[in-house]
């Protein structure tokens, strides 16, 4: 199905904007300063800028760029609220958080697999992530974990 392929592309390309962020920020092994964090936040907007110029990728560009948007409107880069976020953008957002939890980062190791649904639940409780998408990701935890940790 074409829509599924497009969601997969959005998921794979959502961080392409990090190419515009200095490596010393992306790979920093401890917490970012407020200034560094604001630079890092730009990657979502840069993802949008890169992808929207590719013919046929305009919708994928939105889904990918919205991966840090939250249902409560406190996300970035556009501060969109739930009514502006498509199901596809919500799927990419949950996949991004799931992957961030499942994988090691320069500043911490991966979260235990069994803790991920509880942590995602905190994001739902705070109005950040879609509860139905989180429930689906948590339903088959092993398959979600494998998808989040596989390398290309």
What are the sequence ranges of the domains in the chain?
A: 2-149
Better pLDDT: 70 or 152: 70
Known catalytic membership, residue 18:
yes
pLDDT digits 0-9 by tens, 16-63: 999 999 999 999 998 899 999 999 999 999 999 999 999 999 999 999
pTM for the model: 0.92
pLDDT digits 0-9 by tens, 81-120: 999 999 999 999 999 999 999 999 888 899 999 999 999 9
**Which superfamily is assigned to 2-149 in CATH?**
Hypothetical protein af1432 (1.10.3210.10)
Q: How far apart are CA 113 and CA 142, in angstroms?
A: 8
Choosing from 18, 28, 42, 84, the catalytic residue is 18
| Four-point Cα dihedral 46, 47, 52, 56, nearest 10 | 170
Structure-token pair, residue 29? 């092994």
């Amino acid at each position: 199905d074409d829509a599924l392929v497009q969601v997969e592309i959005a998921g794979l390309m959502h961080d392409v904007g990090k190419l515009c962020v200095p490596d010393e920020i992306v790979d920093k092994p401890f917490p970012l300063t407020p200034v560094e964090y604001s630079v890092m936040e730009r990657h979502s907007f840069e993802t949008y800028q890169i992808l929207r110029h590719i013919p046929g990728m305009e919708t994928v560009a939105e889904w990918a760029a919205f991966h840090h948007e939250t249902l409560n409107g406190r996300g970035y880069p556009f501060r969109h609220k739930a009514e502006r976020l498509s199901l596809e953008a919500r799927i990419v957002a949950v996949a991004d958080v799931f992957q961030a939890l499942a994988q090691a980062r320069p500043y911490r190791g991966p979260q235990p697999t069994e803790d991920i649904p509880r942590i995602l639940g905190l994001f739902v409780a705070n109005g950040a992530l879609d509860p139905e998408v989180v429930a689906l990701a948590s339903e088959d935890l092993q398959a979600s974990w494998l998808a989040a940790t596989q390398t290309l």
